[in-house]
Amino acid sequence: MKAPLNVLLFGGCLLRRPLRSAPNLAARIDHKRYGRIRVVHSFSEMFQVVEFLRGQKEIPQELRRLTGIAPETVPVPNAADFHDIDLALIEPGSPVDIDFRGIAINRTAIMDLLRPIERQSKEAAKLCHAWARTGLVGMNDEVRRELGAQLSALVPDDEDRELRRSVIAETRAVKNDTAAGFRKMRELLGCPLGAVVFIFRYMPDGRPIVWPAGSREELLAAAGQLGLPVFEPTSLVQEYGVATALEKDMQHYRQAFLPIIGEAIVQFAQNVYERSRAEG
């Protein structure tokens, strides 16, 4: 009986949830050897996970929730060269790197932190999303500063008050380079990589909506340039139909579809490994 492949996962819920739902996963894929890596969207978050696992970067426990590193995760000796890892699956979910005090944080964590403001009113919710999407991720400094001042005034007086205000005031975003990101991940890990396409949302007819515009094309071009195999979920979603594959938000997979897309990801991982073995 073959041993399961040791796989590192760098991505979001569209990669992680399906894989965990794949039939007979434990016998085929082991993705827990290095502890729990949570949702990561950008390359800077991925680099940070590697640095943390190697003991090269410390992150204060109170700021861990802003990152893809679980509170219980600790540096691992084998991370010095990742010699026991068979491959890594990389799903860049954002073309921008978000930084807070030298720590790479993700957009989901930011929105979670802003949730008490968002819940105050419809106007407050619109303000949160406009600040995050247009000001921060959109890298519009004027909008970020103007809306950030309004957000800061709405921060509730609780134990996270100062953290929320600091994140609003100090967080910055910069555009990353997809090809450079894949190249650095390959150098850091020293194992075969599989690129996974992130689809922001689907149209009712199954056509993918890409946000920010052009990010999917950037990934495909970078993967082609570096010779990386690519997993593109769109064809499978279209084959089964959005009513079967997707929740009402047209973004997340339905529970019944998770094992189907998960099985496809497992087969992709196995193909990446076999291809690397064949190429020597």
Nearest to 76, CA basis, from 97, 96, 53: 53
Question: 124-176 pLDDT, tens per residue?
Answer: 999 999 999 999 999 999 999 999 999 999 999 999 999 999 999 999 999 99
DSSP string, 60-76: -GGGGGGSSB-TT----
pTM above 0.85, yes or no: yes
Residue 97 near residue 104 (C-beta atoms within 8 A):
yes
Name which CATH class applies to 5-95+176-279. alpha beta
Question: 75-100 pLDDT, tens per residue?
Answer: 888 888 888 999 999 999 988 999 99
Task: Check pLDDT > 80 for residue 237.
Answer: yes
Beta carbons within 10 angstroms of residue 72's beta carbon: 8
- Sorted by where each begins, the domain ranges of the chain are 5-95+176-279, 103-174
Residue 197 near residue 261 (C-beta atoms within 8 A):
no
